[in-house]
Amino acid sequence: MTRLRRPLALALITALLTGTAAPVMAADGDKMGFTTYYFTDSGENTVITTAFNLAKKVMRQTVLLLDIELDNVTVPPVTAVTGATRPQRRKGEPFEKSRGQVIVGVEQGFGATTTTALSGYRSQEVDYVSTSVIGTVSDEFFDRNLTLTARAQGNWDQVGEIQENGEVFNRPKNAFTGALTASQILSPTTVLDLQYDLVTLSGFLSDPYRKVAVVNDDGSRSVVDEKHPDRRVRHAASARVSQLIPGIEAALIGSYRYYFDSWEVRSSTIEMRLNKSILSNIILGVDYRWYSQSGASFYQDRYVGAQYTADALRTADYKLKPFDSNNFGFTLGYLFRGLAGGNPDLEFLQGASFEITYFRYFNTLDFSADIIQGGLKFSI
């Protein structure tokens, strides 16, 4: 195989696969980025996200990392058609909440190929708080054409429920994740990625706002909180091939993921994406995703019997039902490097891009949605 340095191969493929310019690195290795996204769907859910990230080199192989993200989420009244959950309090009004996230970390290099990173994560909103510690070690082999990465993460969360009086009742939820990734450059234009993830969850694993309708022994109906097991073990294995096609200024990515867990949910996911440069600094992306899963062992279409108003497991989560889904969409991205070229006053736009995405989602549960997302990215 013709040798190609890993950073160059990934930069070439990433530029067309994501429709964005690679981050601009200063001479001293510092990097700064700004991203804002707007998301909406036909169920009237909206999300506005603003993120800032900074990588500051403080020594030869030491980099300090900072990531700050702010989200604003709006969920419509319960009378609207929506897949989002929300508290029953003031259910006739839109429910709006904000989330703040901060990640602080340090990345340390050892020699020419080994990198380690340790970071702390804190996310907080009115009814959910998450604290996490993440450790990563990565090494490169065979002239940097193969990269192996191991990641471990622990999450300690508080799942909140907003009561009718406005107070928040919290319950603990913990998660521990281990992941192994192998990324291999197969040719100057082809990259193969393999990954395995193991996640163990314990504590309160239900949604405090979801309710289950139960048919009692006498034929009457009751509405009770859903009740999930207090432990879940998840496994996932995936493979992805990224192929640059220089002759037509395009890139193709295809992936497959298989998932199974201790609740007996099994799923398969196939994704395809084609990005094509159609004009100078304008990239068109076409995406398709097919997903199929079985139901959880305790899922039922109807819960009948007094045991379901007591301690028997029950769920109102559509993600635990057996179903298939399709997601098809288009993305149009513009790279601002065209404006920056040859103009020193606009040099700060060299790593900036704008994109707008439309997705059509539909599944066998008779649910569909039109999704529009716009994003603006800066990298300095």
Nearest-angstrom CA–CA distance, 24 and 15: 12
Residue 84 lies in a domain: yes
Owning domain of residue 132: 6-379
Residue 72 lies in a domain: yes
Closest C-alpha to 318, from 182, 180, 207, 183: 207
Count of structural domains within the chain: 1
Residue 167 lies in a domain: yes
**pLDDT at residue 91, rounded to an integer:** 61
Nearest-angstrom CA–CA distance, 151 and 17: 24
Tokens of 17: 């696969």
Residue 274 lies in a domain: yes
Given a cut of 50, the residues of the chain with pLDDT beneath it are 1-28, 79-83
Residue 242 lies in a domain: yes
Listing DSSP states for 242-308 in one string gives EEEEGGGTEEEEEEEEEEEETT--EEEEEEEEEEEEEETTEEEEEEEEEEEEPPPTT--SSEESGGG
Nearest-angstrom CA–CA distance, 116 and 202: 28
Nearest-angstrom CA–CA distance, 226 and 128: 18
Closest C-alpha to 77, from 65, 66, 90, 68: 90
**pLDDT at residue 267, rounded to an integer:** 98
Residue 1 lies in a domain: no
CA separation, residue 363 to residues 126, 289, 293, 350, 352 (Å): 31, 12, 11, 40, 35
**pLDDT at residue 88, rounded to an integer:** 59
Q: Do 61 and 108 contact (CB within 8 A), yes or no? A: yes
336-365: burial string, b at 16+ Cβ within 10 Å, e else: bbeebeeeeeeeebbbbbebebebebebee
Write the CATH number for 251.
2.40.160.40
Nearest-angstrom CA–CA distance, 189 and 244: 5
**pLDDT, tens digit, for every residue of 201-251?**
999 999 999 999 999 988 899 999 999 999 999 999 999 999 999 999 999
Nearest-angstrom CA–CA distance, 377 and 335: 10
Strand order in the sheet with 211-215: 221-225, 211-215, 303-304
**pLDDT at residue 371, rounded to an integer:** 93
Residue 192 lies in a domain: yes
Residue 61 lies in a domain: yes
